[in-house]
Amino acid sequence: MAGNQIVINVDIGETRVAIIENGIVAELHIERRGDRSVVGDVYLGKVTRVLPGMNAAFVDLGLDRAAFLHVDDALPDEEFRAAMLGDDDEEPAEAPAVPDTDDHASSEPEIPGDEDLVAAPKPESKPTQKPPHAHAHSHRPQAPKDRKPGGNGGGGNGGGRPQRDARAQKPIRDVLREGQEIVVQVSKGPISTKGARVTSHVSLPGRYVVYMPTVDHMGVSKRIGNEKERRRLREVIDSLKPEKGGLIVRTLSEGLTKKQLKTDVAYLVHLWADICRKREGARAPALLYSELDVVLRTVRDIFGPEVDKIIIDDKDAHGRLVRFVEQFMPDRKDDVELYTGHEPVFDAYGIEDEIGRALSRKVPLKSGGYLIIDQAEALTAIDVNTGRFVGKRDVEETVTATNMEAVAEIAYQLRLRNLGGLIVLDFIDMDRPQNRDRVDKALAEALKNDKAKTTTVRISELGLVEMTRKRTRESLGRTLFEPCFYCDGTGQTSSRLTVAYEILRQIRREKDDLKGYFIVVNAHPAVVDTLKNEIRQDLDEAQRRYMREIRVQSRPEYHIEQFDLAGS
């Protein structure tokens, strides 16, 4: 396996997509029949609760949990209808600047490279729509001065508010009321115990263009570095601007003709019109638009010139994928390959081994050092250790070399595991400031390849780095694992000795209520063995003290902490 490829495994009830970069599995996306991603879906929802203290509301989408809508993401229904119906006489609301957008990606997997955009010049006339709080393809503000961007710059932890211009926030009760129906798009899927996050500012991604029906904003992807090409695309997209809404030119548009872009724009405008028609006849909660499944979404967002080919192992899905590619990239239909080998495709390409590695708590480094990755509720901690690496000269050199090697592996693991939110990196302590600077700069450079927005704080004297990474979906570990039913997710259980002594205490509590000549103890075999052997002397003393014979019986089906007492 070499080069850049997309390998797709379509199995019974589950589809897995592996993104291969330079022969290495960089990302893994999983979609299951009963657990499809809702990110990018557009719903007609009903406001169930308005929370003035949080300036937000909960919206019923018909999902398991209500969605969260902040006032900055809420567009009053009359303004939405103005955008929908094309009513230019509608008085616009006070508009914020087009903000940082990575908190609200419109599709999943996230669009690579399109999160950095240059905002279009402000139009001369007063805009007729309110720009969105957070669209997936707007320009971002500068990071706070005390933080430095890691990778693609910007702030936030996947759930924080982006920076915006100084303006008074409207009270949520002035925008929404309980029982009101509102059109929203899911910008962040349900994660753990939290419901989805939604926004009224819909963004519809196409292959080459993103259409924003509720904001009058034009832009070109910052990843298109050629200034001449940027000007050309800007002129083209200006000439294609719909009557209502704005457009963002995506990175894949580089070198395209006006005709190709026009087709994409026309499709998205038609799609928006179809959503508006469905909204008029629907009753909340109702799904108005469903994003593409993981196969087509991956091809739309990732299958660019840098990807050599797609390998897929299902005949029907291959046919559907070829038809989709023919529609947008007819010259690349031959790059979609049907895998016909007897061995499962993920086994053949070594991807199953990588998945196992991605789920391991301990990640080895080539030098002999290793990482320990622990994902908790509030944050993810990554610890760097030298292991059996002893270096050649002095301790400082050994430590710095291990930290430098760990930087590349950490950046890789963040993408592969899709770790998000607050992340603390515990590098090995370095005495020399210049070595800390080297590691700091190496981390920022390594994170540039991560399309998810990251923010890092400079490495401290203790070797700690605090960072955030945008999170729109569950991590790979939490997708594939669930809390252990045996230890309730703690990773620990009471020792058999602890349980044995707890049994003796419980006998003391209940001895008078247990009728009969004997006290019968039912417990796990390991606990029974401990009572009969390791603490036999204590068991005998309990029998003498309470003047009752204590009989212990093994119950293999019991949890190690489970036991019960009975009189006999």
Which domain CATH number covers 549? 3.40.1260.20
Structure tokens at 523: 């417990």
What are the residues whose beta carbons fall under 8 Å from the beta carbon of 200, sequence distance 6 or more? 69, 73, 74, 75, 80, 132, 182, 183, 184, 185, 214
Structure tokens at 370: 């290793």
CA–CA distance, 70 with 133 (Å, rounded to integer):
10
Pair 353, 388 in one domain: no
Domain count, the chain: 4
What's residue 391's pLDDT? 55
Pair 336, 188 in one domain: no
Pair 166, 195 in one domain: yes
User: pTM value?
Assistant: 0.72
Partners of 182 in the beta sheet?
Answer: 45
What's residue 208's pLDDT? 87
Pair 286, 167 in one domain: yes
Pair 286, 381 in one domain: no
Helix (H) or strand (E) holding 197: strand 197-199
Each residue's pLDDT tens digit in the chain (568 positions)?
557 899 999 998 899 999 998 888 888 998 888 778 888 999 999 999 999 988 899 999 998 889 999 988 888 666 666 666 554 333 333 333 333 333 333 333 333 334 433 333 333 333 333 333 333 333 333 333 344 444 443 333 333 333 344 335 688 888 888 998 999 999 888 877 788 899 999 999 988 899 998 888 888 888 787 888 888 888 888 888 888 888 998 888 888 888 888 888 988 999 998 998 888 888 889 999 998 888 998 888 888 888 999 999 999 999 999 999 988 788 888 999 999 999 999 999 989 888 887 788 899 998 888 999 998 878 999 999 887 766 566 788 888 889 999 999 999 999 888 898 899 999 988 888 899 899 999 999 999 878 888 888 988 877 889 999 987 677 888 888 888 888 877 788 899 999 999 999 999 999 889 988 899 999 999 999 999 999 999 999 999 999 999 999 999 999 999 999 998 8
In a domain, 526, yes or no: yes
- CATH number of the domain that residue 162 is part of: 2.40.50.140
Helix axis angle, 77-85 relative to 258-281, nearest 10°?
Answer: 130
Buried-state track 220-249, b at ≥16 Cβ within 10 A, e below 16: bbbbbeeeeebebbbebbeebebebbbbbb
Pair 14, 50 in one domain: no
Domain coverage including residue 180:
37-204+278-290
Burial environment of residue 461 by CB neighbours within 10 A (0 to 12, 13 to 18, 19 or more)? exposed
Pair 395, 429 in one domain: yes
- Please say which residue of 260, 290, 320 terminates a domain: 290
| 83, 88, 94, 99: CA torsion to nearest 10 | 50
In a domain, 30, yes or no: yes
- Please say which residue of 290, 324, 342 terminates a domain: 290
Pair 178, 327 in one domain: no
Burial environment of residue 316 by CB neighbours within 10 A (0 to 12, 13 to 18, 19 or more)? exposed
Pair 161, 298 in one domain: no
- CATH number of the domain that residue 28 is part of: 3.30.420.60
What's residue 91's pLDDT? 34
